[in-house]
Structure 1
Amino acid sequence: MTTKHMLDEHLLQTILANQEDGHRPLLFAHATVRTMDPLIGDLPDSDVLLVGSEIVGVGPGLHTAAEDDRALVVDCSGLTIAPAVIDTVGMAGLRVRRDRVGTLTPGNPATFGVVDSAGPGPVELLVWHAADAVAIVADGVVQQWNRRPLSAPADAAGPTATPVVSPYLGTWVDETGFVHQALTADGRYDETRGGRPHAYQGSFWLDADRIVYRDDLGFWAYGQFRDGVLHHAGYVFHRR
């Protein structure tokens, strides 16, 4: 049986208080870090240092200065850290709107997931089974801890009070019938996976042929409409 790692539960309240009115750095230490940056690659037994909403350091040995910097240290031994911003369009070499989408590199937003190293691939888990992540951090804010969501779901009114008007609204079904994704005029999406309703829910934004998702758990994903077909996270969807 695979051991499910847990993070320090007592540390959580200190982290949450620091997010409200503190200025101490937050260090996720001793993890395998999947930076998704081709120049940096994967880093064993390494650390990710956050200040506010930004990553300021990635690599081995950052924890040695943590006490001097009064950082809050999260021991991630046996865990893997990977970006929770996964741009399938960009990873496929297609048009993207910003550089280094979804990489854990200094200067980028502190948006990532912490998963068991012995489980499924970390990127695949964060895209398809984010509820199983040990922790999720979005723009430096802890959204999930020990597989428990910390924030209430986004307002059902969606990202704006203005109803979405688009030919892309409706229900989209992948070619296998496994995933059903409903895009509604209130700016919300609701996914059914393998017959499991409400597997993922959140807000979405449309920009021409591009769709941006923000799940209620705090992670982001992207897709693109081409010739009336939705390409998202390796799936091809047709509107039903």
Structure 2
Amino acid sequence: MTEIFTSADLDAVLTGAARPLLLTDATVHTLNPVIGTMEHADVLIGAGLVVGVGPGIITAAEDDDAVVIRATGTTIIPAVLDISAMLAYAPHPEGPGTAGPGTLTPGVPAHLAVLDDADAPDLPTALRTSLTDPGRLRAVLRDGVPIAWGGTVLAPSSRHPATTDADGGVAGRVDPDRVGVWIDTEDFLHQELTADGRYDETRGGRAHAYQGRYWIDGDRIDYLDDLGFWAFGQFDGDTLHHAGYTMRRKDVR
């Protein structure tokens, strides 16, 4: 039997990251109540979204310059489950509509997992196997990007490139353009982001109320406080939103 989801396949996916990706000839549980489950089906992914799902998409793969990965003998399921999406489902009068994230409906983020058919004889077994024995997953894609392949985790979400702080400890990922003191609109919260990947909060004049590490990835900032809890914030231009506070960086000039 020909090997599938090999390292060569992964190289093709990563090298062709700007091209559409087609997983072909699999059993696909879409979890969309109209589309349902299909056998010998294809999943077409582009720009991080599910573009198409169903049999016959392979016929246009060459036209679309797609990277084609043969998935014969496997079952594809959503990697993110959202019960509320099913409850809120509203069918389109002339089509399947969208059940949102947690399905493999065209137009939703391409979060999906691939299992061998032997580990997924039906949907409940497929879901149970993926949750209780993730090492049996052939592949996992998030936003169309492989994070696990051939049973090997490629990029754990908890792994952050780190620096070393002044005390020799592990610090977070830093964006030099966002280093400084951020102050909320009520002048209650002052949060200093330092160049060594640490943060230090003053709350209502109480210095060092919270201290810890931070990581910045794009417009998202994650905090790991020295007390052990995690929190996050979101940058929007020159504004930082965190825990209900709207902050702007202090002008240091």
Fold match (TM-score > 0.5): yes
Aligned to 2:146: 142
Aligned to 2:37: 42
Unpaired runs of at least 5, structure 1: 170-183, 189-206, 208-240
Q: CA deviation at 1:14?
A: 2.2
1:88–1:127 distance in 2 versus 1, CA, 3 Å: farther
Q: CA deviation at 1:99?
A: 4.7
Aligned to 2:103: 103
% of aligned pairs identical?
35
- Describe how 1:53-202 pairs up with structure 2 within 5 A: 53-88=48-83, 93=87, 99-120=99-120, 121-152=125-156, 153-155=158-160, 160-162=221-223, 184-187=228-231
Q: Secondary structure at the match of 2:12?
A: helix
Instruction: Give the letter aligned to residue 144 of structure 1.
Output: A
1:26–1:161 distance in 2 versus 1, CA, 3 Å: closer
Contact 1:85–1:112 (Cα < 8 Å) also in 2: yes
Aligned to 2:10: 12
Distance in 2 of aligned mates of 1:55 and 1:132? 23
Q: CA deviation at 1:128?
A: 3.0
Q: CA RMSD for the aligned pairs?
A: 3.1
Distance in 2 of aligned mates of 1:11 and 1:160? 33
Q: Deviation per CA, 1:85-144, whole angstroms, max 9, x where unpaired?
A: 1124555x48xxx95231101100011000011114222223333232100000011111
Contact 2:79–2:111 (Cα < 8 Å) also in 1: yes
Q: CA deviation at 1:82?
A: 0.3
Q: Secondary structure at the match of 2:230?
A: coil
1:125–1:160 distance in 2 versus 1, CA, 3 Å: farther
Q: CA deviation at 1:186?
A: 2.6
Count of aligned pairs between the two proteins: 163
Give the TM-score of the pair, scaled to structure 1.
0.59
Distance in 2 of aligned mates of 1:126 and 1:87? 15
Instruction: Give the letter aligned to residue 140 of structure 1.
Output: G
Q: Secondary structure at the match of 1:12?
A: helix
Give the TM-score of the pair, scaled to structure 2.
0.56
Aligned to 2:167: none
Distance in 2 of aligned mates of 1:79 and 1:13? 20
Task: Give the number of the structure whose alpha-carbon radius of gyration is greater.
Answer: 2
Distance in 2 of aligned mates of 1:81 and 1:99? 17
Q: Secondary structure at the match of 1:40?
A: coil
Contact 1:27–1:63 (Cα < 8 Å) also in 2: yes
66-75 or 124-133, larger mean C-alpha shift: 124-133
Q: Deviation per CA, 1:205-227, whole angstroms, max 9, x where unpaired?
A: xx9xxxxxxxxxxxxxxxxxxxx
Instruction: Give the letter aligned to residue 139 of structure 2.
Output: A
The structure showing larger relative contact order (alpha-carbon pairs under 8 Å, at least 6 residues apart) is 1
Q: CA deviation at 1:67?
A: 1.5
Distance in 1 of aligned mates of 2:31 and 2:222? 35
1:85–1:67 distance in 2 versus 1, CA, 3 Å: same
Contact 2:27–2:39 (Cα < 8 Å) also in 1: yes
Q: Deviation per CA, 1:160-186, whole angstroms, max 9, x where unpaired?
A: 44457xxxx9xxxxxxxxxxxxxx503
Instruction: Give the letter aligned to residue 5 of structure 2.
Output: L
